[in-house]
Structure 1
Amino acid sequence: MRILFALLTLFCLFNTAGLAQTLNQNSGWLFLMNTTKINEKWGTHLDVQFRSADEWDYLRNFMFRPGVTYYLNNKNEVTLGYLLNETFNQNDGAADNKIKEHRIWQQYIHKHKIGKASVSHRFRTEQRFIERNQDDLFAQRFRYFIRAIVPLKKGQAQFDQGAFLALQNEAFIHLHNEDAAKVFDQNRAYIAAGYRFGKQLDLEAGYLNQTSAGASRYTMNHAIQLALYTRF
């Protein structure tokens, strides 16, 4: 319970960022993720995301992120990948209602246990190529992500099946972005309830709080997320 209390405290602390001069929005996110281990050292990564606009009005974002993973050992892995992000707009008079972004990304993940909780730390860098109507933009970003899965059933030496709580937080900072006035980009805090059907499948639903920095104010997005994790 100590890890659960600590992560809930962290969630509340990050959630207070940007409360002043904040625009509030509500949306829905669908997150699909697969990891496939080809052999002892190599594997693949794929996540696909669908995100709605404010008030679930229309499909705002589609994201497709494949990658290749090299397993250093059971606790450490590195991945190199590509991302396609399509952002759809419904502004009247817009010359083009779709903005495309291509990314190259690299990440390192470290996994460990704290009590019965499984904890993972992810360090990711991104090189972003953003296509815009007037001029294209190149930017770079760093992301730190921490996630804990806490099984609810007692007495399990290894968590292979049953209900769990998932808590995570991810902080984004700009390494290079000519359009960004602040180093801080955004923060995402998330809490969910889920069920592990077996070693290959997790399903969870939860609340994600996304606080993003703009030029003059913050935007706080309250998102309901449904996530499906598969492992082969």
Structure 2
Amino acid sequence: MNNIYPLTIFLVLFVYSTLFGQNEDFSHSSSWNSLTVKGNLNEKLFLKNELNLRRTNFLQDWEQIVLRPSVQYKLDNAFTAAIGYSYIQNYSYADFSTPIDTRENNLWQQLFIKQIFKHFDISHRIRFEERFRKQVSRVDNLSSISGTDYSGRLRYRFIVTVPLLKKKHISVIAYDEVFLDFETRLQPKNLNQNWMFVGLRFRESEHITITSGYHNINIPKDNFSITNHIWETSLIYTL
């Protein structure tokens, strides 16, 4: 199969998503940067810890800080299972964001599946999050934290990686990720949000991998939607 096929499919989906998102009521631009440290305990078991620093409004305001440690087990060359924890600090940065700063703690379980073909790779990431979020109440135009809310959310990410310059270890990577909100039900209630990403991945050495590109997020609400245009850069360091 020609290398261009999976990339073409993703570009078509990406352009469609961008055009479809032109009817949203609110949009903003962000810069997301992350550092992931990975350490192998043995051939199958390894630890990961992510630190995500996310700023918005052309870097003027904090959007989120996310800390995400996990334990991962490589079942074989295709399947990797993981359990992890996320600490998320959400900031108030616009009229359509949370009215005050809030926190979320979530526990998650994940299955990662990788399929290797001759000219490209396909990966699937399935993650279920058990979310404990601070509730915000508003009385007399004043917002305050009133308790903690529980909900479940399923995330499915479909990833295509196409080698661009094999000798320089540079690849094109594209993905689409769907978030389904379960709340406390056994079946999804609605679409929570959708992520699309297109960028370049560079493996500088066996220890350092850098990915950078454009990330588009659409979050549908009851009466409006939010689109976030992001330039995202991540660095993975393997001990």
Instruction: Say yes or no: TM over 0.5.
Output: yes
Matched, 1:53 2:65: no
TM-score in terms of structure 1 length: 0.86
SS of equivalent to 1:2:
helix
Q: How far off is 1:121 after superposition?
A: 0.7
2:73 is matched with which residue: 56, 60, 70?
Answer: 70
> Which residue does the alignment assign to 1:98?
101
Once the two structures are superposed, residues 91-127 of structure 1 have per-residue CA deviations (whole angstroms, 9 ceiling, x without a partner) of: 79xxx95311100000000011233222221000000
> Which residue does the alignment assign to 1:116?
119
> 5+ unaligned residues in a row in structure 2: which ranges?
136-144
> Which residue does the alignment assign to 1:231?
238
Does the aligned pair in 1 maintain the 2:24–2:227 contact within 8 Å? no
> 5+ unaligned residues in a row in structure 1: which ranges?
none
> Which residue does the alignment assign to 2:214?
207
Q: How far off is 1:11 after superposition?
A: 2.5
| CA 1:34–1:17: 2 relative to 1, 3 Å | farther
Does the aligned pair in 1 maintain the 2:87–2:104 contact within 8 Å? yes
TM-score in terms of structure 2 length: 0.84
| CA 1:115–1:8: 2 relative to 1, 3 Å | farther
Matched, 1:190 2:197: yes
Give the number of equivalent residue pairs.
Answer: 222
Does the aligned pair in 1 maintain the 2:88–2:104 contact within 8 Å? yes
For residues 31 and 82 of structure 1, the distance between their equivalents in structure 2, rounded to whole angstroms, comes to 16
Please tell me the root mean square deviation across aligned C-alpha atoms, in Å: 2.4
For residues 24 and 176 of structure 2, the distance between their equivalents in structure 1, rounded to whole angstroms, comes to 22
Once the two structures are superposed, residues 135-189 of structure 1 have per-residue CA deviations (whole angstroms, 9 ceiling, x without a partner) of: 32111100001222222125x6xxxx422211111110101169xxx60111110
Matched, 1:137 2:144: no
